[in-house]
Structure 1
């Protein structure tokens, strides 16, 4: 029988959908969720869907050329609040749970985020960016659309004046307010030159648990603390000690305890695993209940279809208050675990996959999770807690994927040069034939404190369809393998992490007889771009390389990145004042004279995390030293999120440039992506 299936292409991105942010109704009978797609105009769209568990199909609650996100049930289940850009900026809207026309609740000029219902169903707390000196009264009125005239001059007073997430923030801060559901009246509850994030309401509605950076000098002190704010007004209570970062505070049902996720560290905030903490409000004591569990309590999996930052439900308490449910990452998988107050950990929903969000209704013994694996970008499953039985509720890519041929990743583990175990995967080319040799591309993830895993990765399937074997691993610095492993690259960028990657290549060439060791490529973005630059400066083993959103010079990165001045101190363990030599030693640009590998450099022009000057330096230095072939591709308007949530057409172009570069310099017989 003739195989009519085809391999995956870059343009398939326009058809891929995924599901996110499921929320079970108060009665446990229905779930509301988001479906994300790219429309015919090549724009992202998010719509709300409802699915009664007893029904066969979901129904659309919203539609149109809009981005509707963050659905939340009112306490009585009669209404759903959500955030929508349908009137310009993102605002809170309300819609009857049975459907109908939505009603706009807020009219803030700069938009809002994270609306959370009070237990009384009469109020919703939300957050918004305010300029210094502004109040929420100044916010009400006609929404800005981003087309304002650019000011002639801007004064910058702080170090944290830009953000890859929010652009140039200057003197803006994130503040919280409460809106009355019936009248629309807004009451501001935070102020000052600080940033605040919503947590949750106490069961009696008298307190709000939030997180905030309210240190004396937040430019230098990066801690995030947990606070309690009395809704009726009065003195705040600070529950943590400004020695770490904490998120997602949630209340036990009796209101006597608060749980949150975070870490305490004086030296490795980025590379310290997040753990579960509990604060006993009667005793006034904070304790870490997962101190003996060497795991990252968060989803640290990297993919390239879903944008990062999926709403984290935080620790979800059991009804009896003796345990909570959390997402954690281990060995390339992220799952749901039940953690008792004594620290006992039990897997609830696991497997070789990436669980990136969930909602729980313990009375009905049901849980809804959104899940990805190497063949599923993101779908929703119902899990019955008593039996463990799973039911798939969505299959949003069935039509597209039923016509595709995709390779199955093979899990691998090998020893690095010093005996450490390193974990990864090999993806064979589509149409693999035993006895034939294939070129191989080593892919390197960003972070470095993240992990590759059992999730969908569009780029890998494209390369496999182009005739490449794809090798991807988690070198030292990755989450998922314990805290010692994740901290092992700090101060050693380009050292044993580089050794882990080269050991992976050596293992693949030795273990898989289909790999042609004379046709090897390497690619990566962010930290992966740094490592790609480093690799081609160390060895000529690779026939082609693609560096994306990369770092080449730690000395200049210090002053231009939105995180540079503190990231360098933690990760390189040096700064330009006390040890510039160490920063230079870890900078790939000093190795340009050694580079012989054809190098494609790609970068977004509005990248504030790894600013484009890094790519410019590398490109000009290579050209000035008459190195090549080298090509530089700039993406106007693109941030650091170019490859994940950037402009869809730019994402497709980036994938085509990558495949074309490898085709040109690794194997002329491999078909070109844009053909």
Structure 2
């Protein structure tokens, strides 16, 4: 008799692993990559591995606590990586054949994005410096006495990524690989991000907002700067956000990814641009391809911001390879300089990183799908043949049932075509009725897709059908679609979600219409708050990291004052009424749905005062059951890269809440 497989649990998070940041050696024969996991003490671990592509067994390269960002030296003899083994993240070097690693930098605030020069003599990196601080202050200073008062001089003084930054900025420097001597490249009240070296090593392409007042001008420009110091040259016009500049092999062109818009920062679709140094001009080569460049897929196993290869040039300089997101999938594509786009590696899955070696005609892609948190695959550019290189959760998942979502398509009342997925419960039995949870993604400019989602699989294991969809405002369906929610939060986006619920109830006979739940985080939390204020159709709601009041959000979020200008198209001075009309807190008197509110205390994107307002108002109004869970020390990234034990607790609170109102109440009704 075959033993029934179990569903996934919240605690299985501690056992799951995924691979990331594949990097092929200069000769294309060996792969370096990162294996990510949680150790026995429930702390994150990242280890580097090497694998010969013609050998099946990988070899561990490091065993430090958090080793990331492996990068080959140009001659393939060394690998640089970022490690916190000495405290702060620093650059370390290790021989490609193994051995002891050598620490290269000692910046007191750590470093990021180390990038080798073409001759292998230098590495450029970025580090956060305080006002008046220099790279001469390399050694970590003793802990200073806590300040009695801090004078804030700018509006962008905090960040959900970095906490309270006050007058700190990300600056660039070059370190000599042999001597460790550091030469600064940037200064001033600006944040800088590394792009790439020119092929001759004389120039660096970087991105930064070096406008007169970065508090009011939010564009991020592309610059080239002499690697030995000198005058900077700005290539863009401060009308958009650009990133990942990469040089053509002959050094005559520079590609970068971004958007050029006077009105949209978040809702502008990313495209590929090319600057021609001979013509001193740039153009968008994907202008006629209405697809989001980059991976915009939301999941809960990998934090946002994993390394993006940008646009990877072909050896002849006539085109480039890149990742793009379309209809719930992200794949690898190729574009020529005249804008002809072809598919390289796609499918119903989420490609979140890749490394390519054109001479070897091979690409190694980091791929997730609804049953795979993240593994590496080798793909031939000649015939598309794939070889799986890792199967990190094979043993763990062998005894589990992981349902595969069913793709659905439906039409909004105004005729817009919509897209989503239905995940059936574990142990599904035909003819039986199941409670259903509608999940709403954050952003709103992101997308649900064919990637692994622990929370969805957990709900399915608990006996829930899970409906998730991409309402207007999501990436993956063209620029008009992604901008359609701006100024209309709680309008047609709300109606899209309710249309999805009705479609599911009409087309899936296993959905119990009397046992519906709704959940979401960030924008999804906003929409959960909005939904329970507009309808009593749902028997329970879980709102995570949410927004309830746009008027106060304007002044407390790290992005509030400029995010509301674009997304709500209002501010507290000229049209506060519009901000209030889009605020779920004004609908509290209508709420009868039992609501669980969860929030991180160090969330600076959607600060916890949003949750506090909602909770106190609901309690003061004597409304339907409400519970408030606070997570000390947690940022906006709680559910993806937050403390593992807090992530597990959050999942347990979620399923317990739905069990109380969608399962327990049903049992009482039957009895």
Same fold judged by TM-score > 0.5?
A: yes
1:223 to 202, 219, 223: 219
Q: Match of 2:292, SS? A: coil
The answer to whether the aligner puts 1:30 opposite 2:30 as a matched pair is yes
Q: Match of 2:467, SS? A: strand
The residue that corresponds to 1:276 in the other structure is: 272
The residue that corresponds to 2:68 in the other structure is: 69
Could you tell me how far apart the structure 2 residues matched to 1:665 and 1:229 are?
60
The answer to whether the aligner puts 1:97 opposite 2:93 as a matched pair is no
The residue that corresponds to 1:39 in the other structure is: 39
List per-residue Cα deviations over 1:415-460 (Å, max 9, x = no partner): 1111111100000011111111100000000000000000000000
The residue that corresponds to 1:486 in the other structure is: 482
1:189 to 179, 185, 189: 185
Change (3 A) 1:148 1:405: farther
Q: Are 1:557 and 1:564, in contact at CA under 8 Å, matched by a contact in 2?
A: yes
Give 1:84-123 correspondences, 5 Å limit: 84-123=83-122
Could you tell me how far apart the structure 1 residues matched to 2:665 and 2:433 are?
12
Q: Are 1:158 and 1:170, in contact at CA under 8 Å, matched by a contact in 2?
A: yes
In the TM superposition, residue 149 of structure 1 has moved relative to its aligned partner by 4.0
The residue that corresponds to 1:364 in the other structure is: 360
Could you tell me how far apart the structure 1 residues matched to 2:510 and 2:485 are?
31
1:617 to 577, 591, 613: 613
Change (3 A) 1:659 1:161: same
* Structure 1 gap ranges (5+): none
The residue that corresponds to 2:507 in the other structure is: 511
Could you tell me how far apart the structure 1 residues matched to 2:322 and 2:651 are?
34
Could you tell me how far apart the structure 2 residues matched to 1:46 and 1:669 are?
43
The answer to whether the aligner puts 1:649 opposite 2:650 as a matched pair is no
* Runs of 4+, deviation exceeding 6 Å: none
1:586 to 582, 588, 600: 582
The answer to whether the aligner puts 1:463 opposite 2:459 as a matched pair is yes
In the TM superposition, residue 628 of structure 1 has moved relative to its aligned partner by 2.1
1:351 to 343, 347, 350: 347
* Structure 2 gap ranges (5+): none
The residue that corresponds to 2:157 in the other structure is: 161
List per-residue Cα deviations over 1:368-410 (Å, max 9, x = no partner): 1000000000000001101111100000111101111111100
In the TM superposition, residue 233 of structure 1 has moved relative to its aligned partner by 2.0
List per-residue Cα deviations over 1:4-31 (Å, max 9, x = no partner): 4210010000001000000000010001
Q: Match of 1:133, SS? A: coil
The answer to whether the aligner puts 1:382 opposite 2:381 as a matched pair is no
Q: Match of 1:596, SS? A: coil
In the TM superposition, residue 232 of structure 1 has moved relative to its aligned partner by 2.1
Could you tell me how far apart the structure 1 residues matched to 2:510 and 2:247 are?
55
Q: Match of 1:229, SS? A: strand
Give 1:221-370 correspondences, 5 Å limit: 221-370=217-366
The residue that corresponds to 1:607 in the other structure is: 603
The residue that corresponds to 1:411 in the other structure is: 407
The answer to whether the aligner puts 1:473 opposite 2:469 as a matched pair is yes
Q: Are 1:178 and 1:189, in contact at CA under 8 Å, matched by a contact in 2?
A: yes
In the TM superposition, residue 268 of structure 1 has moved relative to its aligned partner by 1.2
In the TM superposition, residue 150 of structure 1 has moved relative to its aligned partner by 2.5
List per-residue Cα deviations over 1:189-221 (Å, max 9, x = no partner): 101111110000000000000011000100010
The residue that corresponds to 1:5 in the other structure is: 5
List per-residue Cα deviations over 1:497-516 (Å, max 9, x = no partner): 00000000000000000000
Q: Are 1:372 and 1:455, in contact at CA under 8 Å, matched by a contact in 2?
A: yes
Q: Match of 2:170, SS? A: strand
The answer to whether the aligner puts 1:440 opposite 2:439 as a matched pair is no
Q: Match of 2:664, SS? A: coil
In the TM superposition, residue 3 of structure 1 has moved relative to its aligned partner by 2.9
Could you tell me how far apart the structure 1 residues matched to 2:75 and 2:558 are?
43
1:543 to 532, 539, 544: 539
Change (3 A) 1:194 1:589: same
Q: Are 1:258 and 1:278, in contact at CA under 8 Å, matched by a contact in 2?
A: yes
The residue that corresponds to 1:125 in the other structure is: 124
In the TM superposition, residue 602 of structure 1 has moved relative to its aligned partner by 0.1
The residue that corresponds to 2:139 in the other structure is: 141
The answer to whether the aligner puts 1:633 opposite 2:632 as a matched pair is no
The answer to whether the aligner puts 1:205 opposite 2:219 as a matched pair is no
Q: Match of 1:404, SS? A: coil
In the TM superposition, residue 142 of structure 1 has moved relative to its aligned partner by 2.8
Could you tell me how far apart the structure 2 residues matched to 1:7 and 1:134 are?
53
In the TM superposition, residue 76 of structure 1 has moved relative to its aligned partner by 0.3
1:425 to 393, 410, 421: 421
The residue that corresponds to 1:151 in the other structure is: 147
RMSD: 1.0
The residue that corresponds to 1:78 in the other structure is: 77
TM-score (normalised: structure 1): 0.98
Could you tell me how far apart the structure 2 residues matched to 1:457 and 1:654 are?
15
Q: Are 1:180 and 1:186, in contact at CA under 8 Å, matched by a contact in 2?
A: yes
In the TM superposition, residue 148 of structure 1 has moved relative to its aligned partner by 5.2
Q: Match of 2:574, SS? A: coil
Change (3 A) 1:508 1:193: same
Could you tell me how far apart the structure 2 residues matched to 1:493 and 1:614 are?
17
Q: Are 1:296 and 1:328, in contact at CA under 8 Å, matched by a contact in 2?
A: yes
